[in-house]
Amino acid sequence: MRVLGIDPGYGTTGFGALEAAGSQFRLLRYGAITTQPGPVFAARLEMIYQDMCQLLEVVQPEALAIEELFFGHNVTTGINVAQSRGVILLAARQAGVPIFEYKPMQVKQAVVGYGGASKHQVMDMTRRILHLEQVPRPDDAADAIAIALCHARSSTSLLAKAMGGLD
């Protein structure tokens, strides 16, 4: 199964694509879609959408795993991330790729085995699972890879198969 993990953002959107076969995982590519601050936020959303469409075409994933939105103290940032997330979901939907959403605690549980794991623990375990010499950079890409791993590990359970993706 080919999974594209996404860590949504509007300045930096991390992505990580991996191939999963049972308990074996192979990292295919990773990186970030970046946009520069500017007076027209809609132009940034358009760039994210276009880059996501191109990424979906290149990777040809069988599933897109994306982190659910968490609103912290900065509501304005959360709203902008939500808009970015919306164009990402639209691109995946138009490409016919099933979408699966995960809470940060679910990602930590699937990758580290503990829902309260630190960001450092998740990154280190991701590196170990994929037999990488270093943690992928930027951090957003490492987070996206962890999200893809979460889906790859979760999708084999009967519960996940029963629940399916977003239709």
Tokens 């490492």 sit on residue: 142
Tokens 């699966």 sit on residue: 100
Q: Provide the CATH topology of domain 2-163.
A: Nucleotidyltransferase; domain 5 (3.30.420)
Tokens 């191939």 sit on residue: 19
- In this prediction, residue 38 carries a pLDDT of 81
- In this prediction, residue 160 carries a pLDDT of 46
Which tens digit of pLDDT belongs to each residue from 42-95?
999 999 999 999 999 999 999 999 998 876 666 677 888 999 999 999 999 999
CB contact set of 149 (below 8 Å; sequence gap of 6+)? 5, 18, 25, 110, 111, 126, 129, 130
The mean predicted confidence, pLDDT, of the chain is: 89
C-alpha distances in Å from residue 18, one per residue of 76, 77, 81: 32, 29, 24
Position 157 pLDDT exceeds 60:
no
Position 116 pLDDT exceeds 60:
yes
Position 156 pLDDT exceeds 60:
no
- In this prediction, residue 71 carries a pLDDT of 63
Q: What pTM was computed for the model? A: 0.89
What is the distance between the terminal CA atoms of the chain, rounded to a whole angstrom? Answer: 19
- Cβ–Cβ contacts within 10 Å for residue 83, how many? 17
- In this prediction, residue 69 carries a pLDDT of 80
Which tens digit of pLDDT belongs to each residue from 3-49?
999 999 999 999 999 999 988 999 999 999 999 988 799 999 999 99
In whole angstroms, give the CA distance from residue 3 to residue 156. Answer: 13
The residues that are catalytic are: 7, 67, 140
Which one-letter DSSP state was computed for residue 68?
P
The answer to whether 17 touches 4, Cβ cutoff 8 Å, is yes
